[in-house]
Structure 1
């Protein structure tokens, strides 16, 4: 296992990683999802010379009831289908969570129903309030994300209220 910044991934590693993520997520993994996973730290688990598990930690700005927070946001957490249920997800998450705890005010991610239990078992908490995005036109509620946005509290449990993320193309959360 190793951690590497996007800037230090070779072209071959980026291509191999994209192929693995496409295999893990299927057609749900879009070019925009790929772009969201870039620009931060990648935790890679390799087996047999191939990347079989991945988690990316990218910096995002969140507002918790108007209080700005530097967030370590997890993106593209995946294990290749042929390597699932072997502990690779726990391994990459251990390191990703260490990075979040060491360098950010809070961790955050958006989880599918299928993956939510993994995060809850690890101490992630469903955001107890509502979610929104800070768009160029102002704050816009994102009610579809209210049941899938999880946080890793660094300084105690979240108080709730409105959690707003910075604007980006594609899925806001």
Structure 2
């Protein structure tokens, strides 16, 4: 039997955080400390099967600049399901929980998608960003051409023009 739970990072004990990091290390193979840090500080959706963690996703707050405004974004990070448990709706269940959070607390949702997951997010109503992407770095706004086409947004409280520029706030590691 599977169980999905949501909790803020501060409500997760060390063993759960260690299990989540191990799961994501296994899922992605190249998870960095920065990638893990990006998944912390917000709401986690966790899928448990018995006492074993088989799925993780989180949403954290970020600032995105769009249309001359700084928007409060629920940014989705660390979405992964153990390989032998994929295709059973666990990813969709985690995303449903996080989308509820985004719609209730943020101006929009956003995420950077792998090529393999793009259809999954599009089928859930996430829109592929069509315009140029950039990051607000310590040296100023810098284009992130390599991310163009890989950013998805979930409209919530603010109308979006997905053909316009979208700028993310700065962070160490991958900015998107």
The two structures share one fold, judged by TM-score above 0.5: yes
Contact 1:127–1:158 (Cα < 8 Å) also in 2: no
SS at the partner of 1:116? helix
Q: Map Cα deviations across residues 133-153 of structure 1 (whole Å, 9 max, x no partner).
A: 011221111011111000001
Q: Which whole-Å CA distance do the structure 1 matches of 2:110 and 2:158 have between them?
A: 14
SS at the partner of 2:166? strand
131, 137, 140: which is aligned to 2:139? 137
Matched, 1:168 2:165: no
Q: Map Cα deviations across residues 81-122 of structure 1 (whole Å, 9 max, x no partner).
A: 121111100100000000000000000000011011000000
Question: Which residue number corresponds to residue 5 of structure 2?
Answer: 2
- RMSD between aligned alpha carbons? 1.1
Judging changes above 3 Å, is the alpha-carbon distance between structure 1 residues 156 and 138 closer, same or farther for their aligned structure 2 residues?
closer
Matched, 1:11 2:11: no
Q: Which whole-Å CA distance do the structure 2 matches of 1:51 and 1:158 have between them?
A: 36
Structure 1 unaligned blocks of 5 or more: none
Matched, 1:80 2:82: yes
Number of residue pairs the alignment of both structures matches: 172
Displacement of 1:65 after TM fit? 2.8
Question: Which residue number corresponds to residue 118 of structure 1?
Answer: 120
Matched, 1:21 2:24: yes
TM-score, normalised to structure 2, is: 0.94
Q: Which whole-Å CA distance do the structure 2 matches of 1:156 and 1:61 have between them?
A: 13
TM-score, normalised to structure 1, is: 0.96
Structure 2 unaligned blocks of 5 or more: none
45, 58, 63: which is aligned to 1:56? 58
SS at the partner of 1:102? helix
Contact 1:107–1:151 (Cα < 8 Å) also in 2: yes
